[in-house]
Every structure is written in structure tokens, then in C-alpha cells.
Amino acid sequence: MAEQPTKQKLWGGRFTGKTDPLMHAFNQSLKYDQRMHAADIRGSIAYAKSLTKVGILTPVEERKITEGLTAVGKEWESGQFEPAPDDEDIHTANERRLSELIGSLGGKLHTGRSRNDQVATDMRLWLLDEVTEIEAGLRALIRVMVERADKEKDYLMPGYTHLQRGQPIRWSHLLLSHAFSFASDLERLQQLIPRISVLPLGSGALAGNPFAVDREFLARELGFQSVAENSLWGVGDRDFVIEFLLWASLTTTHMSRMAEDFIIYSTAEFGFISLSDAYSTGSSIMPQKKNPDSLELLRGKSGRVFGNAAGFLMSYKGLPSTYNKDLQEDKEPLFDAVDTVSACFRIAEGVIGTLEVHPDRMRQALTMDVLATDLADYLVRKGIPFRETHHISGRAVALAESRKCQLNELSLQDFKSLSEKFGDDVHGVFDFEASVERRQSIGGPSRVMIDRQVRVLRAALDK
């Protein structure tokens, strides 16, 4: 049986009194940071290799430590790991269990290493793994939006400003507008990765490693893109956490705006879309209700995620250099934001993939007044300055309202009474499809531009 070390806290040599039990519970983070167990073991195995390279460990000792850490990892994966009362955090727990398995040799692993650089390394390793999954979820969401838009180009609907009907567009154009917001989020996430992928390990408590461990070797071993060049910064920096939280805040804000559109368009008053039963709930008192709870939760989660960002930013703002225990407050908001964003992407993908579109209701919402700008453009093509044509078109709208008729129901004489430039072809303006197709410039809702937007987004996804 391996020699059992004397039980004591990692920092216990200086202290002779007992820790207040309430303080121990207040200080403990294992209940939530245990989700970094695999990252912690990966970092420790790599660090053991670096200690062998500088002669602190022999190859045999390194092998025993690696085997022990691997066994600890398997206990976590199988659910057999049993935390001890004095395990403050995942780092303490893993090292304690390692020493139980291999004896006092386990105590060599911490040579030249501090929990300060260890926790910073674990968080970055853990987040890099999570970002890979988050990126995959975001790509899947964008893809289902793009594929749906490509198939539903025929559906025309009103475009809105101030929630008032403005001009005709395609349903695909609306869907792709949200997809482009998410594509920007994808780009920002990819740009964030190099700033997460910086190795703190080897920074020690604050003043660096005294045993000349090869930190570039550690970076290669753990897959980091670069090494923290300053040890004070390496242990105290949590900008990568804040950047991720702010990224998550903006991304869920985009999710919220899309959800708001779909909530409005799913109401009986609009009836443009219907949600699948799988993403709806009923009322406890009104049997007829079909509530868009999935969308409302997507909308609501943005506040939660932003709260995480704002809360930790306030904890971070007044800290002196290097590590302070306040930094323990980084984990719960980060973990919660990762879980929330990941779930949001999966739910949104399901909602969009299964919702039913009602193109007839969209068409019915198109009234001739949404072609008032097209009427002004008609006169522009006759040589009249737009500011004048805007006024003339507005007078035509007012005339139709006074007659209680649609704009296209005005006679040629009615139009001529407003401007002699109106000709027999004026009624050709009142065609929703033609209006949309006239918008051929990049960014417009015409078919050729929808096709272009689809190509651009597919190319972004294929990068």
C-alpha cells in the first residue's frame, strides 16, 4: 500500500488555529469547479512532464504520477470520486486523491507550481474545450436558418420599421438578417480564441517558476497558441472570462431580438408563423392558449447572461495586481453563461427547424400603401427630384385614405391631378413581387440577392 501523507491543507503550514467551519464552506469552490476536473488533470500531467525535463522528477516518478492522475480522472468520469471534507477546490481534491493513490510522491507535483497559475490554466483549458462545442452549436443554428431561407424565397411579407408596415420584403430576407447577426457572433468568437489560448502555467504564485520549466513545451503539450509573457499578468488576468461573458451577452441579445420578432409574428393578430408543439406550452386556465415559451425563454436568457457579465466585471474592476480570492467569483458566471448559451443555440435551432410558415397570411398583410415609396420612385424615373416625389406620393396616400380605398384603386385621372408626370403605366407600380425584385443592389430582398446572401453565409460556415 502506498505511503499515506499527513492530511493538511495545501497552505496549512503557517496556521496553527482551526478554520471556522462557516469560513471553510464560504471559501470552498469544489461544488462548482469540479467540472474542470479533466482540465486540471491534463494540466498536471503536462506539468509532470516538464518537471522530468528539468530533473525534478525521474521518468519512473513521472510515469507513476501520470498513472495516478489518469486513475483519478477515471474516478471522476465514472462518478466514483469521493470528495473529502477538506477539499477546497478541484486542484486540492485531485492532488489529495493522487497522494492517496501513490503516496508522498504526489507532493512533488506541486514543485514550482501555485494554485494561482494552476486555476488560470485550468479555466483557459476548460473554456477552449467549451468554445469548440459552442462554435459547433452556433454553426448549426446559422445553417438551419440559411437552408430554410434558401427553400422559402417565394414568401413575401411586409417589412416593418417602428412595428409599422414599411415595404415588401421576402420572409427569407428577414430570416437571413438574423443569420447575419449570428455570423458576426461566430466571427467574434473565433477572434476571441487566441486570447483565451494563452498559457499561464509556469507563472508560479506571481514571480515565475524557479526551476526553469520549459513553458513553450507546456504550451505545445496542452495546445495553447501562446505563453503568458508576464507572470503577474498570467495569474491575475481574467480578461478572457470577461470577453467571453460580453460575447455571450451580445449573442444572446441577438437571440432575444430574433425571438421577439417570432413571438410577434406568431400571434393571432399576425399569424405569419406557428411554433411546433415541441417548443410551445399551454395555459393552466385558458385551454385555447399555445404559448411561445421557448422564444420567451430565449428572450429572457439574455438578461441572465448580461447579469453574469456585469456582476463579474464589478468584482474585477477594483482588484490589485496578481491573484486575489475575489477571482474565485469568475467561475460561476462563466459556467452559467456557457451552459445558457449552449442551450439557447440548441433550442433556437429546434424552433427554427420546426416552425410552420404561413405565406398566405404574410401576403394578406401586404397592403398597397407599402408601395408608396415605389410610387415616389416611379416619378424619380420621370425626372422629378425625390423630395418632390415623396411629397406627391404622400398626397396620393392621403387621397386614397380620404376615399377609403387602396392606393392602386385611384384612377389615372386621380394620379394626374397630383402630377402630370403620371402615365398609363402607373398602375404597374402596384405589384409586390416587382417591387421586391427591383431591389437588386447588394443587401436587397430580390431573389438574386437572397441567393447571394445564402452563398456568403455558406462560405462563412465553410471557413
In this structure, the strands spanning 356-357 and 164-170 are unpaired
Closest C-alpha to 179, from 362, 357, 349 = 349
CA distance 33 to 119: 10
CA distance 65 to 119: 19
DSSP H helical segments within 35-104, as ranges?
Answer: 37-53, 59-78, 90-102
CA distance 171 to 174: 5
Q: Are the CB atoms for 182 and 250 separated by under 8 Å?
A: no
Q: Which residues contact 342 (CB under 8 A, 6 or more apart)?
A: 130, 133, 134, 137
CA distance 224 to 194: 8
Catalytic residue among 184, 276, 283, 321: 283
> Rounded to 5 degrees, what are φ and ψ at 280?
-130, 160
Q: Are the CB atoms for 321 and 235 separated by under 8 Å?
A: no
For 317-363, give the DSSP string: TT--SS--GGGGGGHHHHHHHHHHHHHHHHHHHHHHHHPEE-HHHHH
Catalytic residue among 162, 284, 402, 441: 162
**Is residue 284 flagged as an active site residue?**
no
Exposed, middle or buried: residue 407 (CB in 10 Å: 0-12, 13-18, 19+)?
Answer: buried
Q: Which residue has the cell 416619378?
A: 379
Q: Are the CB atoms for 69 and 90 separated by under 8 Å?
A: no
DSSP helix/strand/coil, 232:
helix
CA distance 356 to 272: 9
DSSP helix/strand/coil, 272:
coil
**Is residue 162 flagged as an active site residue?**
yes
What residues act catalytically?
162, 283
